[in-house]
Amino acid sequence: MIPWTILGTANIPNNGGELRLSQRGDDFSIHLKGVRGELMNSRVHCSELALAELGCAHIKGAEKSKVLVGGLGMGFTLAAALKATSKSSQVVVAELVPEVIEWNNGPLGECAGRPLDDNRVMVHLGDVAELFNTKQATYDAVLLDVDNGPEGFTQADNNNLYSIESLQAIRQTLRPGGVLAIWSAWHDPKFTQQLKKSRFKVETKTVRAHKGKGSRHTIYLARKV
């Protein structure tokens, strides 16, 4: 069996620990060093695509829509958001770790078809939470996949993202009818309640990790009504 080769490491801001990019043949893996484990594997990415397909379904064919993707990872959700929106749309991708952007500009970028090269993409290097401080109705869809679910995994500060205060700020950055879509490795009914308390209309979809097989992941779809 081909061994994994480490291609790069990166420090996650705010003492979040270390991210490690490895490659084995055509497969890439991003790990959080230590007990926290794998954040993403290129072989298994159907639910990352579904996050954008479901989160952008309401703006199919719409002109000049604006989508925010947080974070970049291996670029699958970003690529699917570009595919799901029109040529006049703009997709902002927020990524906390500078090296993740560098990796996507290198060999890792091939996984999702080099979405960063699309001229509709604008990169925000930093915490996606910063973009919710404006509280101005800006986006038709916000697609969040920064942790393994609605609790801080990549960095402890991400816990704040899923608080009612933060969800209400996100709601304010959505245009009328806009959708907040959140990827999760599990289904948590308490989080559905949290979204409802933040005045979203909520539904959840179960999607499989790999071509109709594998783990079941949850996509929370929270609409601003």
Task: Report the Cα 65 to chain-centroid distance in Å.
Answer: 18
140 belongs to the binding site for ligand SAM (CB under 6 A): no
Dist. CA 60–CA 53, nearest whole Å: 9
CB of 72 to ligand SAM, least distance (A): 5
145 binding ligand SAM? (CB under 6 A):
yes
Residue 30: CB atoms within 10 Å = 22
Give SS3 for 81: helix
Asked whether position 141 contacts ligand SAM by CB under 6 A, the answer is: no
DSSP symbol at 27: E
77 binds ligand SAM (CB under 6 A): yes
According to the 3-state scheme, what is the secondary structure of 137-184? CCEEEEEECCCCCCCCCCCHHHHHHHCHHHHHHHHHHEEEEEEEEEEE
Pairing of strands 139-144, 66-70: parallel
Span between the terminal Cα atoms of the chain, in Å: 52
Binding to ligand SAM by residue 53, rule CB under 6 A? no
Q: Tally Cβ neighbours within 10 Å of residue 216.
A: 12
158 binds ligand SAM (CB under 6 A): yes
Nearer to ligand SAM, 183 or 191 (CB): 183
Least CB distance to ligand SAM at residue 116 (A): 12
- Exposure b/e, 197-207, CB count within 10 A at least 16 = b: ebebebebeeb
Q: Which stretch binds ligand SAM (CB under 6 A): 91-99, 174-182, 186-194, 210-218?
A: 91-99
What is the footprint of ligand SAM within residues 111-130 (CB under 6 A)? 127-129
Residue 218 found at the interface with ligand SAM (CB under 6 A): no
Choose, by CB under 6 A, the member of 44, 97, 167, 170 that binds ligand SAM. Answer: 97
72 lies in the binding site for ligand SAM (CB under 6 A): yes
**Among 22, 28, 29, 39, interactor with ligand SAM by CB under 6 A:** 39
Q: Is 94 a residue that touches ligand SAM (CB under 6 A)? A: yes
Q: Decide: is 40 part of the binding site for ligand SAM (CB under 6 A).
A: yes
Which residues are near ligand SAM by CB under 6 A?
39-40, 48, 70-77, 94-97, 100, 127-129, 145-146, 154-155, 158
